[in-house]
């Protein structure tokens, strides 16, 4: 099963263990998605908490704001 992250749009691949599942799934971006599946079909999805913002540049790099 494949679903798109509601935060970043990344395609999240889920194996057969998620065919009948209700609970959290974590995306690579750090977003937590609450999903509900039944018989291999996605029935509900919502974004739990948005991930913390990623800095555009590491602190201490030229042009970074502190």
Could you tell me if residue 62 is inside a domain? no
Q: What percent of the chain has pLDDT over 70?
A: 73
Could you tell me if residue 64 is inside a domain? no
Which residues, 6 or more positions from 59, have their beta carbon under 8 angstroms from its beta carbon? 66
Residue 64 has pLDDT above 60, yes or no: no
Could you tell me if residue 59 is inside a domain? no
Domain count, the chain: 1
Which residues, 6 or more positions from 29, have their beta carbon under 8 angstroms from its beta carbon? 5, 7, 8, 10, 51
Could you tell me if residue 42 is inside a domain? yes
Structural domain of 37: 2-47
User: Which of 15, 16, 12, 36 is CA-nearest to residue 24?
Assistant: 36
Could you tell me if residue 52 is inside a domain? no
Q: What pLDDT shows up at residue 13?
A: 94
How many residues make up the chain in this entry? 66
For 35, phi then psi, to 5°, come to -125, 160
The whole-model pTM stands at 0.69
Strand partners, 47: 33
């Amino acid at each position: 099963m494949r679903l798109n992250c509601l935060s970043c749009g990344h395609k999240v691949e889920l194996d057969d263990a998620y065919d009948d599942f209700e609970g959290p799934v974590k995306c690579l971006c750090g977003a937590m998605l609450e999903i509900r599946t039944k018989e291999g079909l996605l029935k509900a999805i919502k974004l739990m908490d948005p991930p913390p913002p990623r800095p555009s540049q590491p602190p201490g790099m030229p042009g970074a704001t502190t």
